[in-house]
Amino acid sequence: MHKTIERITGDGEGTTYEFPVFRFDGSDKTAPTAYLQAALHAGELPGVVAIDALMPMLATAEAEGRIKGAITVVPWANPIGRAQYHFGEHQGRFHLGTRTNFNRGFPLLAAPDTALLPDTTLGTADQRLKTRLVQLSLGHDIVLDLHCDDEGLAYLYIHTSLWPTMADCAAAMGVDAVVLWSEDSSGTFEGASIMPYQNVPANVSRFDRRVVTTVEYRGMLDVDGALAEADAEGLYRLLVMRGVIQDRSVSKPGNFTGAVVPIENIDMMPSPKAGAILYHVEPGDRVAKDDRLATIVHAPGEVGGRTEVFAAQSGFILTRRSRRIIRAGEDLLKLAGDKRSGDARSGTLED
């Protein structure tokens, strides 16, 4: 294993951000290669502890000569967001300097060629970070971006061009659901990792061996040793199954039995009032149309001070908010519907 330190110049004199990169050399140049990163949204830690649990497994495989394809690991992908605090509260989702989501604004290249990347010499620190992450990841056959939601099931975002060939990966990781998407106009990291392969020859795109996904490891508070070990085993199983690592002790997973939902079927369920949320459903619950999902207490103790929110269609609860205070118009939850949403979104679901 080789460790290097990446340095991102800040937006002011004397400011520099650093993050480590770990590389494992592969013994077979024809084997698939892999790139894993966590905490692009710097406060989302389930992926960080999953990588922490995975690293000893990779070290053992390396010591025993079982790593076939090169592996690059970035456990803390966002040193800028990691350093951001406002009045004692960590702010890892948006860059405070540009007010841009750290998982938006990645360059969407026409081909997998780093020469096409923009010159960010005069850009902002977050732009320099995003360009460097694309440089580190581009060209790998497997790209895993580890995130989490507020409170939710474990699920994957997967581009339609990689489904169902990635069903084995979903099974290996043991996730509950897959959300399929096809358009990216906002420049997510996942989009920057898969869009360059959409209009290139088949011998370059290699969709038969390509794996690109945003992994949503449940919720913000699911930073737990047992979950981390299970998630690490899922990551390791995927790397073995796809030929990056050789390990005869790892059995092939069965068929993926979780839900597969087009992103257009997701209902975000905005709150009609500002107030306190009383949820009547949890992630994983199956609901029918017009089932009560939540009550918003907007005028406590007053007649008519509660407003109920009902399911727009039948489906299951994918995620919900972790904080129980909400403003009018903010999203209460993700309802994975059985049909297309009346408010269908083809790109990103939220800011």
What's the CA gap between 309 and 280, in Å, rounded? 10
Q: Do both 286 and 172 map to the same domain?
A: no
What's the CA gap between 307 and 174, in Å, rounded? 37
Q: Do both 191 and 279 map to the same domain?
A: no
**pLDDT, tens digit, for every residue of 334-348?**
999 999 999 888 778
What range defines the domain where residue 307 resides? 264-337
Given this model, what pLDDT does residue 346 score? 77
Q: Average pLDDT, stretch 265-269?
A: 97
User: Which positions ≥6 away from 230 have C-beta within 8 Å?
Assistant: 174
Q: Do both 233 and 312 map to the same domain?
A: no
In sequence order, what are the beta bridge partners of 286? 316
Helix, strand and coil percent figures for the chain, each rounded to 5: 25, 30, 45
Q: Do both 184 and 280 map to the same domain?
A: no
Q: Is the pLDDT of residue 48 over 90?
A: yes
What's the CA gap between 271 and 85, in Å, rounded? 28
What's the CA gap between 99 and 110, in Å, rounded? 26
Q: Which 8-state DSSP code applies to residue 325?
A: E
The pairing of beta strand 259-262 with beta strand 177-181: parallel
Given this model, what pLDDT does residue 54 score? 98
Given 211, 232, 257, the domain boundary residue is 257
**pLDDT, tens digit, for every residue of 286-316?**
999 999 999 999 999 999 999 999 999 999 9
Q: Do both 56 and 172 map to the same domain?
A: yes
Given 203, 236, 257, the domain boundary residue is 257
Given this model, what pLDDT does residue 345 score? 81
pTM of the model: 0.97
CATH for 169:
3.40.630.10
Q: Is the pLDDT of residue 101 over 80?
A: yes
**pLDDT, tens digit, for every residue of 5-24?**
999 999 999 999 999 999 99
First to last CA, the chain: 36
Q: Do both 168 and 196 map to the same domain?
A: yes
Q: Average pLDDT, stretch 196-200?
A: 97
**pLDDT, tens digit, for every residue of 53-88?**
999 999 999 999 999 999 999 999 999 999 999 999
What's the CA gap between 183 and 103, in Å, rounded? 15
- Inter-helix orientation angle 46-63/225-241, to 10°: 50
Q: Is the pLDDT of residue 35 over 90?
A: yes
Q: Do both 248 and 153 map to the same domain?
A: yes
Percent of the chain beyond pLDDT 70?
100
